[in-house]
Amino acid sequence: MAAVAALNAVEVDYPGPKSGRWRALGPFDLVLNAGETVSLVGPSGCGKSTALRLLAGLEAPTRGEVVRAAGRGETALVFQSPTLAPWLDAAANVALPLELAGVGKAAARRRAIEALARVGLAEAASSAPRALSGGMAMRVSLARALVTEPRLLLLDEPFAALDETVRRRLADDMLALVAELGCAACFVTHNVEEAVYVGSRVVVMTPSPGRTAYETAVTAPLPRPAGFRATPLFRDTAETVSARLAQAMEGASA
Amino acid sequence: MKRLVGIVAPLALIAVLLGAWEAACRILAIPAYFLPPPSAVAAALVAEAATLTRSALNTLAMAMAALALAAVAALGLALVSAFSFTVERAVRPLALALQVTPMIAVAPLVAIWAGVAHPERAVVALASLAAFFPIFSGALTGLQSADRDLHRLFALYGASRRQTLFRLRVPASAPFVVEGLRVAAGLAVIGAVVAEFVAGSGAAQGLAWRILEAGNRLQTARMLAAIVALALLAGLLHLGFTLVERRFFGRWLENKHALGVD
């Protein structure tokens, strides 16, 4: 499998109070291959989002190396909130990355409407963001990420603010779209079950500064077959990941 | 019910105050040049309606011309400041100095520069000085208000500084600019009145002239009528801008929280 992006022994320091500096992340290693979804799970503030920004090329590591086969235009980012521009309708929000890349307005809108149709929102193309429910707004955000057909999709707790039924449906839709594109995805969450459900690999991180505490592969096909949550594989992996996460947190507080 | 209270309560208070004022003037036999009763002010308002309307329109025209000038200068400067950190740092203290300097102190100077023959130029210039800061400050705040994650998206998609400015920062600033314009419109009216007091009126006599003229003749009821007209003018302007703000940006701002894009 070809690596789309990798973090090699990266460390990120931020300026601390007074003249000191504090380590937010690392040393941390991560490889993202085409066609796989890697879940990063860890406590709040462990540097998960920092790792995503490194992968996106929005931040540089203090030490270590970021390898990115996917260029900037081939990387997409989905945030915890839908982050839609309130002055644009849904289709214009989705068309934005294309227009910024120089695609003509009409062509960009046509592709945006196609992307909206892929997330089941074709009829909402002309809706203002304020008219959309939380789940719909997140689908628009997902359509905006996928409209450029990225090789690398980065998701920063995208479903955290949604209720359980909506987040489950969105997780399935997201996995189907990722499989269709064949891109590499990195999914940040602090929900263990969600991490196991969407990840072909799950990486458990330690509290700040985030390092790898545990890593495991989830050997079921993506998108997940119906009833996957009821299988022993899912339940056992979720139990193990949960235990390892608790262990990592205890280790940090001990 | 709350809405009804919001309308009735202030009206009731005004009625009570006016009643007390009227009663006090009659019972204590206060001389009309010192404090005329509200009935006399109302009579002056009716009698002078045509003149006051003409003067109010003159004041409004000068305040609006000043607002337009101030808006062009303030928005232009805010845009340039948004593009360059150095310009922003250079301009901010000067803009602030302009804001904290009492306008009345600058008025005689501006009157000299405008020339005795052109007091209306002094009025417009001073009113635009008064209106400048809220628009500039609103625009600058607005240009920096766009969501951090939207900025990250623009960076991720390789947007140029120009694209980021015109497709993200400028639209995000719109509600702040309208708010700045609303505050500035009120200040422009105040500026136009103060300037007319100091620089005088040309052919176009505004409400300040009416106030001064009535004051000089000890026609206090006419003076109060002109002040009421001025308050009405400022109130209507405020209402106009508030309606524009609600119509175009109300629901947008309300939903910023719901969408987490604040």
Q: Which of residues 152-181 of A touch B (CB under 8 A)?
A: 161
Q: Based on the domain organization, do B26 and B76 belong to the same domain?
A: no
Residues B76 and B198 in one domain: yes
Task: Verify that B105 and B229 share a domain, yes or no.
Answer: yes
pLDDT at B253: 55
Q: What pLDDT shows up at residue B247?
A: 81
Q: Read off the pLDDT of each residue in B198-215 and give the average, rounded to a whole number.
A: 85
CA neighbor of A30 nearest in space, from A189, A151, A154, A186: A186
Put simply, the answer to whether B150 touches A85 (Cβ < 8 Å) is yes
Based on the domain organization, do B119 and B227 belong to the same domain? Answer: yes
Residue B165 CB-density burial (10 A; 0-12 exposed, 13-18 middle, 19+ buried): middle
The closest CB to that of A77, out of B152, B158, B256, belongs to B152
Q: What is the pLDDT of residue B262?
A: 32
**Residue B85: predicted pLDDT:** 85
Q: Tens-of-pLDDT digits for all 254 residues of chain A?
A: 678 999 999 999 988 877 778 888 979 999 999 989 999 998 888 889 999 999 999 999 999 999 988 777 789 999 989 999 999 999 999 999 999 989 999 999 999 999 999 888 889 999 999 889 988 999 999 999 999 999 999 999 998 888 888 889 889 989 998 999 899 999 999 899 999 999 999 999 999 889 999 999 999 888 899 899 999 999 999 999 999 999 988 876 65
Q: What is the pLDDT of residue A1?
A: 60
Which residues on adjacent β-strands are paired with residue A23? A13
% helix, strand, coil for chain B, step of 5: 85, 0, 15
Q: Residue A253: what pLDDT? A: 60
In 3D space, the residue among A70, A39, A42, A66 whose CA is nearest the CA of residue A53 turns out to be A66
Element (H, E) at A237: helix A232-253
Give yes or no: residues B12 and B103 share one domain: no
Cα separation of A115 and A103, whole Å?
A: 15
With beta carbons less than 8 A apart as the criterion, state whether B228 and B41 touch: yes
CATH for B74: 1.10.3720.10
Same domain, B109 and B201: yes
Q: Is B251 on the interface with A (CB under 8 A)?
A: yes
Total domains, chain B? 2
Whether A86 contacts B253, CB under 8 Å: no
Q: Are residues B40 and B135 in the same domain?
A: yes
* Spatial separation of the C-alpha atoms in residues A155 and A32, rounded to whole Å: 13
Shared domain check, B135 and B5 = no
Compare CB distances from A81 to B167, B254, B260 and report the shortest one's residue.
Answer: B260
Instruction: Return the pLDDT at A63.
Output: 94
Q: pLDDT by residue (tens digit) across B103-136? A: 888 888 888 898 888 888 899 999 999 999 999 9
For chain A, give every domain's residue range: 3-71+151-253, 85-150
Is residue B150 within 8 angstroms of chain A, CB to CB?
yes
- State yes or no: pLDDT of B221 exceeds 80: yes
From the list A87, A97, A129, which residue is nearest B259 (CB)? A129
From chain A, pick out residues whose CB is under 8 angstroms from the CB of B154. Answer: 100
User: And the tokens for A249?
Assistant: 């947190």
Residues B141 and B207 in one domain: yes
Q: What is the DSSP letter of A210?
A: B
pLDDT for the residue B251: 56
- pLDDT value, residue B96: 86
pLDDT in tens, B41-100: 999 999 999 999 999 999 999 999 999 999 999 999 999 988 888 988 898 888 888 888
For residue A11, list its beta bridge partners: A63
Residues B48 and B95 in one domain: yes
Q: Which domain holds residue B19?
A: 1-30
Q: Please list, in sequence order, all residues whose beta carbon lies within 8 angstroms of the beta carbon of residue B237, skipping any fewer than 6 positions away.
A: B60, B63, B185, B186, B189
Do residues B6 and B58 share a domain? no
Per-residue pLDDT tens over the stretch B9-42: 999 999 999 999 999 999 999 999 999 999 999 9
- Give me the pLDDT at residue B98, please: 83
pLDDT confidence of residue B104: 85
Chain A residues touching B168 at Cβ < 8 A:
85
Query: Which chain B residues are Cβ-neighbours of A58 within 8 angstroms?
Result: 152, 155-156
Q: Which two tokens stand for residue A227?
A: 């009833």
- Nearest beta carbon to residue A130 from set B163, B255, B260: B255
Assess whether B20 and B95 both reside in one domain. no
Residue B260 reports pLDDT greater than 60: no
- Please state which of the four CATH numbers 3.40.640.10, 2.40.30.10, 3.20.20.140, 3.40.50.300 is assigned to the domain occupying A3-71+151-253: 3.40.50.300
